[in-house]
Each structure stands twice: as C-alpha cells, then as structure tokens.
Chains A and B, each alone.
Chain A
Amino acid sequence: MSGKFDALLDSMSDQGQSHRGTAFIIESLLLLIFVTASIAIVVQLLGFGYSQGMQADKLSNAVYIASNEAERFTADPDIKSRQIVYLQTQNGLERIATEKFSNEKPIEYEGKKISLDDSGVYVLKRKITKENFSSGKLYNASIVVDCQGNEVYSLDVAKYMPNQRDEEFGIIDDGVEGGV
C-alpha cells in the first residue's frame, strides 16, 4: 500500500515538473516578445529624438549663417549676388568657398573633398537687387541657406542708401551711424 502511494506521488511530481517547464518556456517566449517590441518602440523614439535634434541643429546653423550675412549686407549693401559654402567643423561653421560651385568640381578642404550633398555643408545664396530712386537706392537682399539640396532658412533684408550719405543723414544717439 505504501509502495503504491509513493509511486503515485512520484508520478504527480513528474507531471507538475513537466507543466512547470512548459509554463516557463511560454512565459519566457512572451517576455521575449514583449522586450523585443518594447526595444523596437524605444529605438524608434530615440531615432525620432535624434532626427529632431539634428533638424534643430541644422535650422540653428542656417539662422546663424543667414543673420550674419544680413548684417554684412546691412553694413555694405553694394555687394554682388553670390553663393557661399560653409562647413560645420569642430571649430564651428567655416566659410570654405565663395565662388560659383558645382558638384562636378568638389571643394577641397584640409585634404578632403567636400560635396554640396554632404551633411554639415551649408550653401548660402545671396541675391541682391536694387531699386533706383531720385533720392538714392533701395537695396533688397534675398538670403537663402540650403543644406543637402533643401532650403532650410530664408531671409529678406533691405537697406536704403541715399545719394549723398554724409550730408543727408546724421548720427543716431547710440553712436551708430544714421541709418545710411
């Protein structure tokens, strides 16, 4: 009697271990699926965050380049329309070319060939037009900054230059020369 009871207990124990083993595998698989899905979502989140950061960086650089050019134009509006290439380096944005430029003739910078399609390369397009008036000239500048072939930022600036600058316009109180 005692022997039969022990055999029954052993049989139940084996069955329990078998069920536990199956449950362990199923639970492990479910956990693996959950972790994989979670990591996939998190990787997408990280990628999205990175792309947003890159976009912000690009826009910020473009604004910096455009506003610098706008100030240069304001200081002396009688300048030519031109295309200027900037490269983002460890030292910040550096002007690497100021002439007409195409992808057929890449720019060489510190021994490397730079193409307009490279990331970190900004192309500033400055187009100057002027309207002649009897009293002077009104210069308009259209400043566009491209990166990898896409327009990132644009700015319209104007500056008036009278015919006789020194005689007609005085000095502003804050020390800046009177407008023109």
Chain B
Amino acid sequence: MARENESSVRIGSITIFALVIVLCIAVMGMLAVSTGRAALASSEKQAMYTSEIYQNEKEAWEFVTKVDKVLYDLRNTWWWSKAQGIIDATEVVEETKGASIDNDEISATFTSENGKTLSIKMTITNDLQLTIDEWKVSTSKEMDNGDVLWSGM
C-alpha cells in the first residue's frame, strides 16, 4: 500500500540532473571568460608592439634629423670637407645610444623594452649628403617563459 503512494519523482535524480546542467553552464562561463581574456591580452600585445615600432621610428627620425642638420650646416660653409663631416657626425653619433660610425657609414639600432628593434644604416657621401641604405624592423624574442604555453587567463 505504502509503495503505491510513493511519488515517481525522486529528488536524487533531479539533484544530479541540476548539478550536471550547472556544471555544463559553469564550464561554458569559464570558457567565455578565458576566451575574452585571451582576446584582450592579444589586443594589448598588438597595441604595445605597434606603439613600440612607431616609438623606435620616432627616435630614428630624430637621429637622422640631427645628423642631416650637422652635415647640411657644414655643407653651407666654405671649408666643408667629407672628413670634417664625419667628425661632426661622430659627435652626434656618440650622443645617441645604440649608434656607431665606421668611416662614412653610420649604423644605429633602436630597441624597445619588448624586443622590437629598428636598425638603420646611412652613408655620408663625398658631397656630404646623407643616404639611407637600410631601414629594418625586426623582433628579437627571448624564449624565457619556461613552461607557459598560453597566458590568456
């Protein structure tokens, strides 16, 4: 008699069903968060690298301006010579970090915090003009992250 009156719905099965659903939704929530954070981390990296590329370019153009100005000013004097041009350019090169001069060839490397590098090479011509021979952007990546394969979270 008593067994006939028992309800066919048992709380145990409902609980398990609800737990499974909650678990599934929780996994989807975690996936949404990790995807969102990964996308944001990726965008921030892109933004940072873009800023660094243009920052390096800015420094490079300022350097070119200084060297060109020195040569231009010297060229407008009657005593100008290539040797004097190299001496004047050397002074500017020595003030700039990452720059060097070898006879009439000037090299400079501008490196950002995160490894973006801009290398430029210029030549002082015999008529005291400045020629840009190389303008190269590169990335030097140090693999020092150990076992971290993904840092989206």
Residue ranges of A at the interface with B (Cβ–Cβ < 8 Å): 10, 13, 16-17, 23-24, 27-28, 31, 34-35, 38-39, 41-43, 45-46, 48-53, 55-57, 59-60, 62-63, 66-67, 70, 74, 133-136, 138, 140, 153, 155-160, 162-163, 167-170, 172-173, 176, 178-180
Of A17, A38, A157, the contact of B22 (CB 8 Å cutoff): A38
Of B5, B29, B35, B130, the contact of A17 (CB 8 Å cutoff): B5
Assess the B54–A70 pair: CB atoms within 8 A.
Answer: yes
A113 smallest CB distance to B (angstroms): 30
Given known contacts A17-B5, A136-B68, A138-B61, A173 and B42 CB-to-CB distance under 8 angstroms: no
**How many contacts A-B (CB < 8 Å)?**
162
Assess the B54–A42 pair: CB atoms within 8 A.
Answer: no
Assess the B33–A135 pair: CB atoms within 8 A.
Answer: no
Assess the B44–A59 pair: CB atoms within 8 A.
Answer: yes
Query: Chain B contacts of A17 at CB under 8 A?
Result: 2, 5-6
> Which A residue sits closest to B14, measured CB to CB?
A31
Query: Chain A contacts of B39 at CB under 8 A?
Result: 52-53, 56-57
Of A16, A46, A62, A169, the contact of B131 (CB 8 Å cutoff): A169
**Interface SS of chain B: helix, strand, loop or mixed?**
helix
Assess the A172–B135 pair: CB atoms within 8 A.
Answer: yes
Given known contacts A13-B1, A52-B36, A169-B131, A159 and B61 CB-to-CB distance under 8 angstroms: yes
Query: Chain B contacts of A23 at CB under 8 A?
Result: 11
> Which B residue sits closest to A77, measured CB to CB?
B61
**Interface SS of chain A: helix, strand, loop or mixed?**
helix
Assess the A49–B32 pair: CB atoms within 8 A.
Answer: yes
Query: Chain A contacts of B2 at CB under 8 A?
Result: 13, 16-17
Residue ranges of B at the interface with A (Cβ–Cβ < 8 Å): 1-2, 5-7, 11, 14-15, 18, 21-22, 25-26, 28-37, 39-40, 42-44, 46-47, 50-51, 54-55, 57-58, 61-62, 64-65, 68-69, 71-73, 76, 129-135
Assess the A24–B65 pair: CB atoms within 8 A.
Answer: no
A127 smallest CB distance to B (angstroms): 15
Assess the B68–A28 pair: CB atoms within 8 A.
Answer: no
What are some 8 contacts across the A-B interface (CB < 8 A)? A31-B15, A49-B29, A52-B36, A56-B40, A60-B46, A70-B54, A155-B50, A167-B129
Assess the A27–B11 pair: CB atoms within 8 A.
Answer: yes
Query: Chain A contacts of B36 at CB under 8 A?
Result: 48-53, 56
B118 smallest CB distance to A (angstroms): 12
A10 CA / B1 CA spacing, docked (Å): 9
Of B28, B31, B33, the most chain A CB neighbours within 10 A belong to B33
Of A49, A55, A56, A162, the contact of B68 (CB 8 Å cutoff): A162
Query: Chain B contacts of A173 at CB under 8 A?
Result: 133-134
Assess the B40–A138 pair: CB atoms within 8 A.
Answer: no
